[in-house]
């Protein structure tokens, strides 16, 4: 298909290391619920299914919680995170240079994340990235979210692309499963928040962003 016309990225653990800010927000919610706090290394393995799932997993570390407890904790998490969305979050090394190279090669770029769309857009704006992406769909942009393939397909469509000429870049098993279901080649980032299963099932794996252009080129020859 030649060089892909559209390259879609997951956000947390793929474009940015947001573990510290997500941990701070989760700990605010856990403190409010009189639960023990967690460390960033633990939170890295809880991310991928959106804010509600992160709260559920955080509560599960200290005995779990019912729907009422999750419902109380969720706005505490979201309010704290919205106010501190880029305190410590940074792009991974080489990320911006890779995005520049892909855009210069003619690819349109997009984001498909399970983070609530308002928070995704706020983070992208805080990083000065708004103009880099043709579309940014969050976990509440549709009635479905990753790993449902429609989330990825809708992101591609919103950016003006087609699945047949797209590539997805992510870090978790959720991302790989989404791409597989959508029939889109997928690159997994070893440096992200994901698990070995994500790497095993991806079409290509990168250890650093400087490897991304070559990995994508290898997929589409």
Q: Give me the active site residues, please.
A: 10
How many other CB atoms are found less than 10 A from the CB of residue 76? 18
> SS3 for 193?
coil
Comparing CA positions, the residue from 166, 146, 147 lying closest to residue 156 is 166
Radius of gyration of the chain (CA): 17
Residue 220, token pair as written in the block: 């589409």
Give the span between the Cα atoms of 129 and 213, in whole angstroms: 19
**DSSP bridge partners of 19:** none
Comparing CA positions, the residue from 221, 203, 211 lying closest to residue 102 is 211
**DSSP bridge partners of 188:** 170, 205
**DSSP bridge partners of 187:** 169, 204
């Amino acid at each position: 298909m030649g060089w892909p016309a559209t390259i879609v990225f997951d956000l947390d653990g793929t474009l940015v290391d947001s573990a510290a800010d997500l941990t701070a927000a989760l700990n605010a919610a856990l403190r409010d619920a009189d639960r023990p706090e967690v460390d960033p290394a633990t939170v890295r393995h809880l991310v991928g299914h959106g804010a509600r799932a992160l709260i559920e997993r955080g509560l599960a570390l200290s005995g779990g919680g019912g729907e009422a407890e999750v419902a109380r904790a969720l706005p505490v998490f979201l309010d704290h995170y919205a106010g501190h969305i880029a305190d410590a979050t940074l792009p991974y090394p080489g990320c911006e240079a890779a995005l520049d190279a892909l855009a210069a090669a003619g690819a349109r770029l997009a984001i498909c994340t399970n983070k609530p769309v308002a928070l995704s857009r706020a983070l992208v704006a805080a990083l000065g990235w708004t103009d880099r992406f043709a579309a940014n769909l969050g976990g509440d942009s549709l009635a479905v979210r990753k790993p449902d393939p429609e989330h990825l397909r809708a992101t591609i469509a919103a950016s003006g692309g087609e699945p047949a000429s797209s590539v997805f870049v992510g870090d978790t098993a959720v991302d790989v499963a989404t791409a597989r279901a959508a029939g889109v080649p997928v690159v997994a980032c070893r440096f992200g928040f994901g698990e070995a299963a994500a790497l095993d099932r991806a079409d290509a794996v990168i250890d650093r962003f400087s490897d991304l252009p070559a990995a994508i080129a290898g997929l589409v020859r």
